A and B are shown apart, each in its own frame.
Chain A
Amino acid sequence: MKLAAALIALLALAFVPSLVGPYPLGLMIGILGYGILATAWALFSGPTRYISLATVAFFGLGAYTVAVLSETLPYPLVLLAAAAIGLVVALLVGLATLRLAGIYFVIFTFGLTELVRQLVTYYEVNVTRTLGRYVFLPFGPEHIYWQLLALLAATLAIAFWVRQSKIGLALRVIGDDPVVASHLGIRITRAKLTLFSISAVIMTLAGAIQAPRWTYIEPSIVFNPTTSFLVVIMALLGGPNRLFGPLLGAIPLFLLFEWLSANFPNHYSIILGLLFIAIVFVLPNGVLAAVDSVRARLTRKEASA
């Protein structure tokens, strides 16, 4: 029943490009892109509570892979290469960092993004001697939209599966108490590494698919750290431990940020920061959890009245 509803919704969304103009379609693409990133982020960071700021490192790697390879390889192979690069980097980073906890993990992932950006810049300046690149792929916005829609559906399906699988339970136990987790026989590093890698590959693909939108790509565009922060706020707003939470958080915030950056380009980051603080203080478990607790309070009142 739920599956049927989800498939119908997916089918209906597939017709959006033929129904709306280019500007709304652009907004939809943005929402899908951030919805994927936030859902993928929450896949790992929701249960473990490890706040990763490396989202844009993987996103940018995906976009750059397309920029570098799109003229030499057929498109499906380019996507495959992007996914493989995302996986390898995730495994390397994961092995190095997943033993870190709390603030050290946050700072490391933030530093990682800078490192990847500097490495790409160094490679481009010194080896290929071109800093910016043009992406010429015969894709219209509707093609990008459809690919992102498919990726979002796949991401939600993976998230749904993880929630009822053993590895999902393992991550929730680790998030609650890693000491108990290890004493129950959970292989902590392996569980974390697996989900971190799945999450990173999805982020890489999200960047790869969106690369043709920019036409011109350079490191400062695709490795913009603000993206990582936005994804965290979106997931926290919607609730990182709910299947649709991150996606529902991405929709209003993406629209808000679009409006802010168009109307208040100079004060954009101040407002962003204030919002971040407000969300963490007022809705630590996300809007959906807040709605649930209000509803529970109301039913209790009714019961006692």
Chain B
Amino acid sequence: MSLLRLNNVTKRFGGLTAVNGLSFDLAEGEIVGLLGPNGSGKTTALNMISGYLPLSDGSIGLLDETISGLPPEHIAHRGVARTFQLVRALPSLSVGENVLAALAFRKAPLWGAGAKAEIDTLLADVGLGGRADQPADSLTYIDLKRMELARALASDPRLLLLDEWLAGLNPTELQAGIELISSLRQRGITILLVEHVMDAVRALCTRCIVMNTGSKIADGPTAEVLADAEVIRAYLGADHA
């Protein structure tokens, strides 16, 4: 049985159709890349899955339940967590409180001493060990991304949506980032990642879905999809196909 099922999902902004009849399934434990040129509707698709944007048409199911139409807090409680394309730290909170905010309001909440231990574990897992008391707005860009990932993991998700989590990192950071996401595989979390960094996609994803101008144009094993003529045309233009 699939974990996530998108069925004919469509989003219209006025006259513009950002996502047009998108359908795909994710199996439990898969790490899947969602690719496509800028403006192809990837982030809009993530925003509909997490409940940030309402659908214009179609439906989204998680396990045997329809989640489209639910507000984000209900979808979060059903096991969907995410990071944002532009990092959304909670700047007036400490690093630890950022993670605590997820622990305290998830389906099986943690608070007090239990939460404290879990915060330390999660921060150590993403490479921010011992920095719980630091103000979040004092972190560097990569560390903000680490913190946002720890916060998403603290929600104890079945499905993790990563929106260009690896963008803007230098080569050393990128390598560390890829290893970090790869280590999530052992947690059994299903991951859907929007990504432009092809090395990362090759290293992490077993399967890729490619979108162009709101529609799905390819879906399959990573190597095959990336060799697909239509995908190359969408990314690089007709001359390269």
Contact = CB atoms under 8 A, between A and B. Distances in A.
A185 B50 contact: no
B187 to A, nearest CB: 19
Interface in A112-171: 166, 169-170
Interface residues of A, number: 18
Contact of B111 (A166, A179, A180, A182): A166
Contacts of A175: 92
Contact of A180 (B77, B90, B109): B90
Given A176-B92, A180-B88, A183-B50, A170 B76 contact: no
A184 B97 contact: no
B81 interface: yes
A162 B106 CA distance: 19
B188 interface: no
Given A166-B111, A179-B88, A173 B73 contact: no
A188 B73 contact: yes
A173 B101 contact: yes
Contact of A183 (B52, B91, B92, B100): B52
Given A166-B104, A169-B104, A180-B88, A185 B93 contact: no
B118 to A, nearest CB: 14
A182 B71 contact: yes
B72 interface: yes
Contacts of B72: 179, 182-183
A180 B100 CA distance: 13
B147 to A, nearest CB: 12
B114 to A, nearest CB: 13
A177 B90 contact: yes
Interface residues of B, number: 28
Contact of A176 (B76, B90, B106, B107): B90
Contacts of A181: 101
Contacts of B91: 176
A185 B88 contact: no
Nearest to A173: B101
A183 to B, nearest CB: 5
Contacts of B11: none
A187 interface: yes
Contacts of A170: 101, 104-105
B155 interface: yes
B82 interface: yes
Contact of B73 (A166, A169, A177, A187): A187
Nearest to B104: A166
A17 B158 CA distance: 62
B115 to A, nearest CB: 10
A186 B151 CA distance: 14
Interface string B150-175: 01000100000000000000000000
B102 interface: yes
B81 A183 contact: yes
Contact of B82 (A173, A183, A187): A183
B81 to A, nearest CB: 7
Interface string A279-292: 00000000000000
23 contacts: A166-B104, A166-B105, A170-B101, A170-B104, A172-B90, A172-B93, A173-B90, A173-B101, A176-B90, A176-B91, A176-B92, A177-B90, A179-B52, A179-B72, A182-B51, A183-B72, A184-B76, A184-B102, A184-B155, A185-B77, A185-B105, A185-B106, A185-B155
Interface of A: 166, 169-170, 172-173, 175-177, 179-188
Interface of B: 50-52, 71-73, 76-77, 81-82, 84, 88, 90-93, 97, 100-102, 104-107, 109, 111, 151, 155
Given A175-B92, A182-B51, 13 more contacts: A169-B101, A170-B105, A177-B88, A177-B90, A180-B90, A182-B72, A182-B73, A183-B50, A184-B76, A184-B105, A185-B76, A185-B155, A187-B73
